[in-house]
Amino acid sequence: MSKIDDAVTQDQHKIGTEIGVSDWITVDQKMIDQFATVTHDEQWIHVDPARAAAETPFGGTIAHGFLSLSLASRFAYECLPVYEGQVMGINYGFNKIRFLAPVKSGSRLRGRFVLRDIKKRSATEVQRETGLSIEIEGNDTPALVAEWLSLSIFE
């Protein structure tokens, strides 16, 4: 059996189960401001704390939805397996992303992963579909939920 077949066999029984929960990370105003600068999305609800406090129901600034989503890679490094013989992992895309709750500046986020599917794509690739929920500490509603596709590449 090949290393790719081993990887698929190793995780097929985990389909439908939680495969990891990351550590918390704080999304502070500095991170929000840096993201705004890099993406050229400097809308005031993200970068003007005084105006956001006065004119929004959030009580201050909120993180960009795409900032929360971009943290998925960091969370995945902590939670998703690297298989024997795997030489790299590649983000393949998303089937679905929904932003459900605003992330206020100073909030802590973490990623929760559920394996939805795993299959051999080719002689060098395994595709994994993972359910991702980015949770906000102290909030019942997650910041976002997504169906994330990734590829594990083997030699």
How confident is the model over 107-132, as pLDDT tens digits?
999 999 999 999 999 999 999 999 99
Number of helical (H) and strand (E) elements in the chain, helices listed first: 6, 6
- Average pLDDT (24-41) is 98
pLDDT reported for residue 137: 98
User: pLDDT tens digit string along 55-114?
Assistant: 999 999 999 999 999 999 999 999 998 888 999 999 999 999 999 999 999 999 999 999
- Average pLDDT (135-139) is 98
Percent of the chain, pLDDT > 70? 99
The whole-model pTM stands at 0.93
Q: 132 and 72 in contact (C-beta within 8 Å)?
A: yes
pLDDT reported for residue 6: 83
Residue located via tokens 């051999």? 120
pLDDT at 146 over 70: yes
Q: Which backbone phi and psi does 75 adopt, to 5 degrees?
A: -65, -40
CATH code for position 7: 3.10.129.10
d(CA 69, CA 60): 20
CA dihedral of residues 47, 49, 55, 56 (deg, nearest 10)? 80
d(CA 95, CA 127): 13
Q: Chain centroid to CA 138: how far?
A: 18
Total domains, the chain: 1
17 class by beta-carbon count within 10 Å (0-12 exposed, 13-18 middle, 19+ buried): exposed
pLDDT reported for residue 1: 64
Range of the domain at 113: 3-154
pLDDT at 28 over 90: yes
Percent of the chain, pLDDT > 90? 89
123 class by beta-carbon count within 10 Å (0-12 exposed, 13-18 middle, 19+ buried): exposed
Q: 69 and 97 in contact (C-beta within 8 Å)?
A: yes
What Cα–Cα distance (Å) separates residue 13 from each residue in 17, 69, 115, 149? Answer: 9, 28, 10, 18
